[in-house]
Amino acid sequence: MKFLLKFILVLFIISAAIFSFLYYAHYSEGVRAGELVKFSRKGTLIKTWEGQISQGVSESLQFEFSVEDSEKQVIQDLMDLQGRYVKLKYFERYKTFFWLGDTKYFITEVEEETNTNFSKNR
C-alpha cells in the first residue's frame, strides 16, 4: 500500500512537470507580417480565438494563429484591423492544448503595418 501511494505521487509529480514544461516553455518566438484575412471565435463546447494572415498569393504562405482569452487588447486590435496589413508578435508552444486554440502559435502583440509593399522587398 505504501509503495502504491509513493508510485502514484511520483507519477503525479512527473506528469505535472511535463505539463508545466509543455504549457510554459516557448519553442520559438518572433514576428510575422501580412494581411489579416480571418479572425473568429470558434468551437462547440470550448470557444477559442483563431486567425490567419496571408503572406503572399500561395496558400502555403498562410500563417494560422490562436489568441488566448486573457489577451483582451490583442483580440480587440485584431477585430479592428480585419482586412488590413498587420505585424504580429507571437510565441510557439511545443504542443497544442484544445482549450487554448487550434495552433501552437499564440499572438501577444498586434500593430498595423504601414509598409504594405512586401513584394518589392523580396
Residues 54-107: tens digit of each pLDDT: 987 766 789 999 999 999 999 999 999 999 999 999 999 998 888 888 999 999
The pLDDT value given to residue 122: 44
Name the fold adopted by 27-115. Answer: OB fold (Dihydrolipoamide Acetyltransferase, E2P) (2.40.50)
Domains of the chain, by residue range, sit at: 27-115
What pTM was estimated for this model as a whole?
0.79
- Given a cut of 60, whether residue 17 has pLDDT beyond it is yes
Question: Cα-Cα-Cα-Cα dihedral of 113, 118, 121, 122, to 10°?
Answer: 140
What span, in angstroms and rounded, lies between the C-alpha atoms of 107 and 54?
15
* Each residue's pLDDT tens digit, 38-61: 999 998 899 999 999 998 776 678
- Give the confidence band of 115 by pLDDT, cuts at 50, 70, 90: confident
